[in-house]
Amino acid sequence: MLEARDLECTRGERVLFSALALRVEPGTLLRVAGPNGTGKTSLLRMLCGLLQPTQGEVRWREKPIRLLKEEYWAALAYVGHLNGVKDDLTAAENLRASAGIAGLDADEGTVRGALDAVGLAGFEDSLARFLSQGQKRRIALARLHLSGAVPLWILDEPFTALDARGVAELSALVARQLAGGGIVVLTTHQEVPVAAVRAATVELGREREPRS
């Protein structure tokens, strides 16, 4: 169970949001919505423990993630704006490297299976440099197939650059994760095409106007 208490985010001199509280139970999809520049990405990064809140704390299973550290991160998969894909590695090498960094061990079969699942069969050994935008995004998303047992997924605009079939496949994947009792937090400017039993939305930047 993921919980945030009294979160405040300050970037530069602007307070993006404050006194934000949320509580996400297993099996729930949380959508973070709001116009450009209102702090969605910042919130997700806080939930990941990449950004320290200026106030408040994030808790995972009743313990502050600030203390849990690696224990929390072992339960987390994060796909950010940036793909974390190296142009000079092939798709398979990229995925294997990601697994190594995350501390998962992925054998050849798992890696190929994951790439297959995101529709990159046949491109395993192409350098990422020679893949299209959407194909690179798929490499990043393939990480979700590796970390099968990870309960918490945080996805920042995961549908970007995907074609219609890609969107559908990812939606199905998210639905499966939810059905399995996982938690998914995501942002998207499109309508969320996920059939979730339990869903919630956090709306950022309601009243705020940019200040110079």
Partner 1 sequence: MIGTVAAVVRRDLLLAFRQRADVANTLLFFVVVVTMVPLGVGAEPNLLRAIAPGVVWVAALLAAILSLNRLFAADFADGTLEQMLISAEPLPLIVLGKTAAHWLVTGLPVTAMSVVLGVMFDLGAEATATLAAALALGTPVLSLVGAVGAALTLGLRGGGVLVSLLVLPLYVPVLILGAGSVEAVAAGLGAAPYLLLLGALALFALVLTPWAVSAALRISVE
Partner 2 sequence: MIPWCAAAAIALCAAGLYVGFFVAPTDATQGESYRIIFIHVPAAWMSMFLYLVLAFWAGVGLALNTRLSAMMASAIAPTGAVMTFVALWSGALWGRPTWGTYWVWDARLTSELILLFLYFGFMALQAAIDDPRRADKAGAVLALVGVVNVPIIYFSVKWWNTLHQGASVSLTKAPTMAATMLAGMILMALAFWMYAVAVTLVRVRAIILERERRSDWIKELAPGA
Partner 3 sequence: MKPRHKRAALIGAGLLLLAGAVTLVLTAFQQNLVFFFTPSQVAANEAPAGKAFRIGGMVESGSLERAGDGLTVHFRVTDTARSVQVKYTGILPDLFKEGKGVVAQGRLGPDGVFQATEVLAKHDENYMPPEAAHALEQGAKAQKTMQGR
Of 8, 33, 35, 18, residue with least CA distance to 199: 33
Count, residues in the chain = 212
**Binding string, residues 69-108; x marks residues near partner 1 by CB under 8 A:** -x--xx-x-x-xxxxxxx-xx---x--xxxxxxxxxx---
40 binds, among ligand ATP, partner 1, partner 2, none (CB under 5 to 8 A by kind): ligand ATP
- Contact stretch for partner 3 (CB under 8 A) within 28-36, 66-74, 191-199, 204-212: 66-74
Q: What number of chain residues touch partner 1 (CB under 8 A)? A: 31
**Binding string, residues 7-26; x marks residues near ligand ATP by CB under 6 A:** ----xx---x----------
Residue 22 contacts residue 3 (beta carbons within 8 Å): yes
Residues within window 110-169 making contact with ligand ATP, judged by CB under 6 A: 130-135, 161, 163
Secondary structure letter of residue 128 according to DSSP: G
Does 189 interact with a copy of itself (rule: CB under 8 A)? yes
Cα separation, 166 vs 32, in Å, equals 21
The radius of gyration of the chain from alpha carbons, rounded to an integer in Å, stands at 17
Number of Cβ within 10 Å of residue 8's Cβ equals: 15
Sequence-distant (≥ 6) Cβ neighbours of residue 183 within 8 angstroms: 1, 2, 24, 25, 26, 27, 28, 30, 151, 152, 153
Does 88 interact with a copy of itself (rule: CB under 8 A)? no
Interface with Mg ion (CB under 5 A): 41, 132-133
Interface with partner 2 (CB under 8 A): 12-13, 54
Interface with partner 1 (CB under 8 A): 48-52, 70, 73-74, 76, 78, 80-86, 88-89, 93, 96-105, 129
